[in-house]
Amino acid sequence: MTLDHPLDRPVWGALTTRQSGLAVGDAHAVRIDRTYGLFAAAADPSPANLVALAAIVLGEGQLGMVEAADWPAIPGVVNQPPIGVTQMVAGALMTVRPDGFEIVDLTEANAAEMFALARLTQPGPFFQRTHRLGDFVGVKIGGRLAAMAGERLKLPGFTEVSAVCTHPDHRGHGYAAALMGVVAGRIEARGETPFLHVYPHNTGAIRIYEHLGYRIRAQMKMTVLSHA
């Protein structure tokens, strides 16, 4: 399969390069370790590779593909209708400074409350070890985690900003924008470009991301695969 841009296939790019240590599979198809996420990809849509991807689904359970191109149905598994996902890439990012709150680094000691916040707010797939995919930062109010943001997919030259979420009791204070700025700043300091994914119907978030300096690069498709 010919790639017009590395981010057209972010999962395959990540799991065959910078995050290959988390990949389960072979040259035909891979998935991320199930404790980190549900992402999977095949090398291309050839019959042999689709069969390999189906075998991973049958052996591991529900998986999710994120692709720019349309893919054929994966044989032997349930292919749910693709969900549109807007991919945005950082341009000249705005710096949002914390106003009356402190941003802290989150560590393994914060794993339980990070998982709980993600389960409550549903920023996207978040598993037991998702917090280990990269740097995470947060805001604590009264000793409790009120907001967080971090890194997820990593491929050459790019790192995804992800898990941006704020507890419902603490929204409207600028936490998410400031946290995203810290995460993106660290990514750029490594010589990489931040990118992110957001559902197209979340127009409010898209407007905020555009205000912060992100631009829409592509409309992607997320396909969830599960046992037949």
pLDDT at 3: 62
Q: Say whether 130 sits in a helix, a strand or coil.
A: helix
Q: Report the share of the chain in percent with pLDDT over 90.
A: 92
pTM over 0.75: yes
Kindly report which listed range (33-37, 58-62, 113-117) carries the lowest average pLDDT score.
58-62
Are the CB atoms for 64 and 223 separated by under 8 Å?
yes
**Predicted confidence band of residue 180 (pLDDT cuts 50, 70, 90):** very high
Select the CATH number that applies to the domain covering 88-220 from these four: 3.40.50.2300, 3.40.50.720, 3.40.630.30, 3.40.80.10: 3.40.630.30
Instruction: Report the C-alpha gap between 227 and 63 in whole angstroms.
Output: 10
Q: What is the pLDDT of residues 138-173, one digit of tens each?
A: 999 999 999 999 999 999 999 999 999 999 999 999
Quote the longest CA-to-CA distance of the chain.
56
The ranges assigned to domains in the chain are: 6-83, 88-220
pLDDT confidence of residue 27: 97
**Which positions ≥6 away from 59 have C-beta within 8 Å?**
none
pLDDT digits (tens, 9 = 90+) for 42-62: 999 999 999 999 999 988 789
The pLDDT value given to residue 98: 92
Structure tokens at 65: 């593909």
Average pLDDT score over the chain: 95
Pairing relationship of beta strands 158-166 and 40-42 according to DSSP bridges: unpaired
What SS3 class is residue 143? Answer: coil
pLDDT at res. 1 = 53
Q: Check: CB of residue 215 under 8 Å from CB of residue 88.
A: yes
The pLDDT score that the predictor gives to residue 61 is 81
- Nearest residue to 41 via CA among 18, 71, 21, 5: 71
Name the band, by pLDDT with cuts 50, 70 and 90, for residue 2.
low
